[in-house]
Amino acid sequence: MTPGAVAGFAGTVVLAATTVSLWTARVALAASGRSVATAVVAALEAVTFMLVFNLIASNLDAIDRLVGYALGVAAGTLVGLYANDRLSSCQSVVHAIVSGHRPNFGPALHDLGWAATTHDGAGPRGPITTALIVVNNARLAEVTADIRSIAPDGFVTVHQLRRVHPVPVPDGFHQAGPRQRTTDHTIRITSSVTAPSRMR
């Protein structure tokens, strides 16, 4: 390949990867309700797309640029998904349901650092125990893995929250704040509505 062909190939890969990464970020921002940030990212995405489109359209016979575009799209998808998982500040509700009355389900989650709110209930086939945890999306893989380790037969659903309203709620409902042991040896969770994260 000539130096010009190499430069065109590299430019196509970089611009395609950047475009798709921005597209992934735009979708994530739109889902979280951040309108201004979504608009800014959309504008940047449009610019990079026109640049990469110009590179390909200027020489449709250049197979290397088509290959570069395909590689860039694949790389951009991986980068965008990874960044969304690691940097997301959105929050979700994790709801776990296990069969039977399991009084140790909640304490086991608390011991792993999750401020779970548990309830006993009744399903079509008998008693159940449910756990509710509010957590940052960046911690979803962690919390679901911990739930699976405690209750492999558990049914787990995840629901994304658009926002959390700053109003008082019962202790332990939010995934935030340090655990404090009281004089009667029970655990109190300091309630907070800001950036729920795993307690340590």
Task: Please give the residue range of the domain that contains residue 117.
Answer: 91-189
Is 198 within a domain? no
C-alpha distances out from residue 183 to 106, 176, 187, 200, Å: 21, 22, 10, 20
Looking at residue 98, what is its pLDDT?
A: 92
152 burial (CB, 10 Å; 0-12 / 13-18 / 19+) is exposed
One domain for residues 40 and 99 = no
pLDDT in tens, the chain (200 residues): 677 677 778 888 888 888 888 888 888 777 767 788 889 989 999 999 898 888 888 877 778 888 888 888 898 888 877 776 665 557 788 999 999 988 899 899 999 989 888 999 888 888 999 999 988 877 888 999 999 999 998 899 998 776 666 555 555 554 444 444 444 444 443 333 333 344 43
Tokens of 77: 């998808």
Looking at residue 9, what is its pLDDT?
A: 81
Is 196 within a domain? no
CATH of the domain at 177: 3.30.70.120
Q: Which DSSP symbol is given to 131?
A: E
One domain for residues 107 and 35 = no
Give the largest CA-CA distance in the chain. Answer: 77
Count of domains in the chain?
A: 2
Tokens of 93: 């509700």
pTM: 0.48
One domain for residues 24 and 100 = no
Q: Which residues touch 180 (CB under 8 Å, ≥6 apart)? A: 187, 188, 189, 190
**Sequence-ordered strand ranges (E) for the chain:** 91-99, 117-123, 126-136, 155-161, 179-181, 187-189
Tokens of 163: 């926002």
Is 156 within a domain? yes
